């Protein structure tokens, strides 16, 4: 039986570093084998997950020796934090390790959506010449609106300003007198949506943020504005977003996260033939470099909690 069970993908070097001192079971397919995962946890002291493994009461009951859950990322909505606290199981996210990757994704998506020429490659390859439809707009001078202003949003803001964008943010947890540099804090979500050319979501999934961007909220965005969601799928009403895009009520959207993941063919069908929509498989925070950083941070977190081998 393993000391450490890793149920989702982790970079090889970080796995190897843990295996030097602990018995490690690394099997990314475990995320889709719930019963098998539970059966392997009876003697595990650590469990390492990404965003798909559900760490709930039932799983914790199957792991009486568990001391730590290492999260390969920062979102914690797949982990029952209260249940972990009752069991004295430490939960360690890889805070800061993928900030750069997500920020670069947001800026790239904004550039692509604002300049639709890049989305017309297949048309040109077929012999079409859609110059007028490909014109789009520039990023310089546009307004980046950030919903939430934590570490990733601040990295996004810095890159947006470097491109000549004006940056504003709405975050009720940031006091009005906080030092936010050149970012303008707005006092309501409605004001941000109505005055931003690019809206980027940077909030955790909570009772307050579930369905935050519903049909009414999306209706406040301008017809040329675009939405980027790298946070959590449930924050955006997917049906309302599809409707807005089909009607031309907003200019475009990039979705890296979804209400149900991974998308099944049946769930994905709602996004078929939707104009100006970019879909990616929850990958914004994962690059070669960030994956290595996330693994290293998580391995260090787990090692710190477990202490020396045999302790």
Residues ≥6 apart with Cβ < 8 Å to 13? 292, 295, 296
pLDDT of 271 over the 80 cut: yes
Report the distance separating Cα 161 and Cα 110, nearest Å. Answer: 13
Residue 1 scores a pLDDT above 80:
no
Q: Does 242 lie in the same domain as 108?
A: yes
Residues 134 and 93 in one domain: no
Residues annotated as part of the active site:
232, 261, 282
- Which element (helix H / strand E) includes 277? strand 277-279
Percentage of the chain beyond pLDDT 90 is 94
pLDDT tens per residue across span 82-120? 999 999 999 999 999 999 999 999 999 999 999 999 989
Report pLDDT for 178: 87
Alpha-carbon distances of 46 from 14, 36, 170, rounded to whole Å: 14, 16, 37
Domain of 152 in residue numbering reads as 99-279
Both 189 and 51 in one domain: the answer is no
- Let me know: does 22 contact 309? Beta carbons within 8 Å: yes
- pLDDT tens column, 121-148: 999 999 999 999 999 999 999 999 999 9
> What gap in Å lies between CA 310 and CA 29, rounded to an integer?
28
Q: Confirm whether 164 is domain-assigned.
A: yes
Which tens digits make up the pLDDT trace of 21-63? 999 999 999 998 989 999 999 999 999 999 999 999 999 999 9
The domain tally of the chain equals: 2
The gap between the terminal CA atoms of the chain, to the nearest Å, is 17
The per-residue pLDDT for 310 is 53
Question: Is residue 311, in this structure, part of any structural domain at all?
Answer: no
Contact of 53 with 8, CB cutoff 8 Å: yes
Does 144 reside within a domain? yes
State whether 147 and 232 are in the same domain.
Answer: yes
| Pair 204, 297 in one domain | no
pLDDT digit string, tens, across residues 155-188: 999 999 999 999 999 999 998 888 899 999 999 9
Judge whether residue 311 has pLDDT over 70. no
Rounded Cα gap, residues 161 and 88, in angstroms: 43
């Amino acid at each position: 039986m393993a000391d450490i069970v890793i149920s989702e993908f982790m970079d090889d070097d970080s796995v190897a570093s843990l295996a030097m001192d602990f018995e490690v079971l690394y099997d990314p397919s475990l995320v889709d084998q719930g019963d098998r995962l539970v059966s392997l946890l009876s003697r595990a002291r650590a469990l390492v997950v990404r965003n798909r493994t559900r760490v709930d009461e039932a799983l914790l009951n199957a792991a009486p020796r568990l001391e730590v859950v290492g999260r390969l990322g920062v979102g914690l909505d797949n982990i029952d934090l209260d249940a972990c606290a009752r069991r004295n199981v430490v939960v360690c996210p890889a805070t800061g390790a993928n900030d750069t990757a997500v920020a670069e994704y947001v800026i790239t998506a904004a550039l692509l959506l604002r300049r639709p020429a890049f989305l017309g490659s297949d048309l040109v390859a077929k012999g079409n010449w859609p110059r007028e439809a490909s014109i789009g707009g520039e990023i310089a001078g546009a307004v980046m609106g950030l919903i939430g202003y934590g570490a990733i949003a601040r990295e996004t803001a810095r890159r947006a300003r470097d491109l000549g964008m004006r940056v504003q943010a709405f975050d009720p947890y940031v006091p009005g007198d906080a030092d936010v540099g050149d970012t303008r804090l707005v006092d309501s979500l409605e004001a941000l949506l109505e005055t931003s050319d690019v809206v980027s979501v940077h909030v955790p999934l909570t009772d307050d943020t579930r369905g935050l961007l519903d049909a009414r909220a999306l209706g406040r965005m301008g017809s040329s504005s675009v939405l980027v969601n790298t946070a959590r799928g449930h924050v955006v009403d997917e049906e309302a977003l599809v409707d807005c895009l089909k009607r031309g009520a907003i200019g475009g959207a990039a979705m890296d996260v979804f209400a149900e993941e991974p998308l099944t063919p049946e769930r994905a069908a709602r996004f078929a033939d939707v104009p100006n929509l970019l879909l990616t498989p929850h990958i914004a925070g994962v690059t070669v470099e960030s994956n290595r950083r996330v693994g290293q941070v998580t391995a260090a977190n787990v090692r710190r909690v477990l202490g020396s081998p045999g302790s």
